[in-house]
């Protein structure tokens, strides 16, 4: 694959959170953050920026945001911070749509997070029309270096079974670690370990 040399990864900051939210909502139209709406997504990305154990990068080409990657050293901490600080917004976002089965399912999944300090790649998002241009590679290579600089020997990413991104992750050095079922869907856990 030829990497577009114009692709740059820039750290996620409070100044570019709106770009992260745009990329997320334009390209990942599923999951709890999407279901709860843009206001809560903004709060989520604000927590990522504020939390010393979490970080992210935007991929940009020129002045356009084309992808995002978000990581954390502690999934449970990020979830707890988000819900504790934004409980009223979560409730407001949930109440009108509580009877929607997908939203209720995502909320239950989020509330049952058992993982603690497991270093995790939370999201790697880009539009389908951006795939194959090296954007994912630029973002993955950036966070691999970041995890290594933080002294992390291995980290995980979780995908729904059948997600075509699994092949991309395997090409980048991830290996299958385990599989578990969440609300009827198989989740595959892939691990990256430094040699």
Per-residue pLDDT reduced to its tens digit, 55-113:
999 999 888 899 999 999 988 787 777 666 655 555 555 555 555 555 555 554 544 44
CATH architecture group of domain 7-148:
3-Layer(aba) Sandwich (3.40)
Q: Is the predicted pLDDT of residue 177 greater than 90, yes or no?
A: yes
Q: Which two tokens stand for residue 149?
A: 């600089």
Instruction: Please tell me which residue, 36 or 176, carries the higher pLDDT value.
Output: 176
pTM of the full predicted structure? 0.81
């Amino acid at each position: 694959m030829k990497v577009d040399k114009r692709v740059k990864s820039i750290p996620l900051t409070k100044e570019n959170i709106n770009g992260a939210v745009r990329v997320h909502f334009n390209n990942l139209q599923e999951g709890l953050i999407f279901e709860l709406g843009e206001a809560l997504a903004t709060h989520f990305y604000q927590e990522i920026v504020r939390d010393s154990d979490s970080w992210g990068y935007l991929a940009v080409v020129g002045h356009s945001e084309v992808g995002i990657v978000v990581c954390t050293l502690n999934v449970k901490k990020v979830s707890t911070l988000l819900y504790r600080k934004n409980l009223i917004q979560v409730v407001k976002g949930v109440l009108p749509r509580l009877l929607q089965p997908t939203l209720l399912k995502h909320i239950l999944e989020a509330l049952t997070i058992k993982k603690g300090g497991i270093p995790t790649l939370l999201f790697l998002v880009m539009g389908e029309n951006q795939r194959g241009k090296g954007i994912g590679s630029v973002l993955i290579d950036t966070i691999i270096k970041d995890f290594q600089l933080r002294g992390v020997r291995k980290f995980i990413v979780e995908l729904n079974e059948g997600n075509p991104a699994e092949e991309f992750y395997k090409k980048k050095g991830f290996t299958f670690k385990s599989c578990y079922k969440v609300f009827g869907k198989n989740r595959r856990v892939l691990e990256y370990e430094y040699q």
